[in-house]
Amino acid sequence: MNRVIVIVGPTASGKTNLSIELAKRMNGEIISADSMQIYKYMDIGTAKPTKEEMQDISHYLIDEVLPNEDFNVVRFKELAEKYIDNILENGKQPIVAGGTGLYISSLINNINFSESESDWELREALKKEAEEFGPEYLHKKLQEVDPNSALSIHPNNIKRVIRALEVYYQTQKPISYHNEISRSIPPKYQFVLVGLNMDRQVLYERINKRVDIMIQNGLVDEVKRLVDLGYADSIISMQGIGYKEILEFLRNNITLEQAIDNIKQGTRRYAKRQITWFKRIHGINWFNVDNCGNNINVINEIYEYAKG
């Protein structure tokens, strides 16, 4: 079975640099599993690797769609598998790297989220309920019909709550049932799972520093450009961490200093959620990368494990 290397870990843990280093050593190409790097024009706030940083390594699922285009886990899985097959056909090593837990889980557990078609009328009706009565109201509905999914989906993640309700109303079976059925189908590839672990305080310092660099590199101007291009505040991409806070600043609701602090805090919280998600995934081999940038021994160790 073809091997696919998967690199996971919290934001700012060094996944991008490691994936490029492995790709150079293993004749590899990289597929991003990042739900924000998929969008065009959103470069600084998503920590997207530059052309120079890519070092002539082919990257996929970066700059794939416009900020107002719908992109979801179903499309991710379809495209990721297409690119994996293309990379393998070309005799190269596929490397999946990213921190979006749902994307990673859909791939390695072979979850088929698209078994039921979208019911747009129902979806709009549920959206209106969320707007009128609040997200908790909708989440309680989900608890009644699919308690397992309700446990794993945060009430504020209205999009996923609505999708879970939609699947239940269409099939009279919870989305967790469909997920279990699809998990029972063996995956097409042998996944080699690499997790990057870092002392929490070191990670938070890296996050804070990264946010400061984003501001220095022109994050405010990047958000201004997106606004000038006509992208509304309300679209999903513009509600990403780093973008929504700068929008608040541009709307004169908060100071730039408050926006920066909010980005740092939001990113730290996101990193904590990522760690919790990935720790639940069976089969990840965790490597301590506190000094990964300076420690060639850690990179060599990961390389030896990845190549098998």
Report whether 16 belongs to an annotated binding site. Answer: yes
Phi, psi of 187 (to 5 degrees): -65, 160
Report whether 13 belongs to an annotated binding site. Answer: yes
What are all long-range contacts of 89-94, with beta carbons under 8 Å and residues at least 24 apart?
90/29, 91/27, 92/27, 92/28, 92/29, 93/3, 93/5, 93/23, 93/26, 93/27, 93/28, 93/29, 94/2, 94/4, 94/5, 94/28, 94/29, 94/31, 94/189
Report whether 14 belongs to an annotated binding site. Answer: yes
Q: Which residues pair with 8 in a beta bridge?
A: 195
Report whether 15 belongs to an annotated binding site. Answer: yes
Q: Which residues pair with 4 in a beta bridge?
A: 191
CA angle at 273 for the pair 59 and 16, rounded to the nearest 5°: 20
> Does residue 58 contact residue 30 with C-beta atoms inside 8 Å?
yes
- Residues belonging to the binding site for substrate are 11-16
- Residues belonging to the binding site for ATP are 9-16
- Residues belonging to the binding site are 9-16
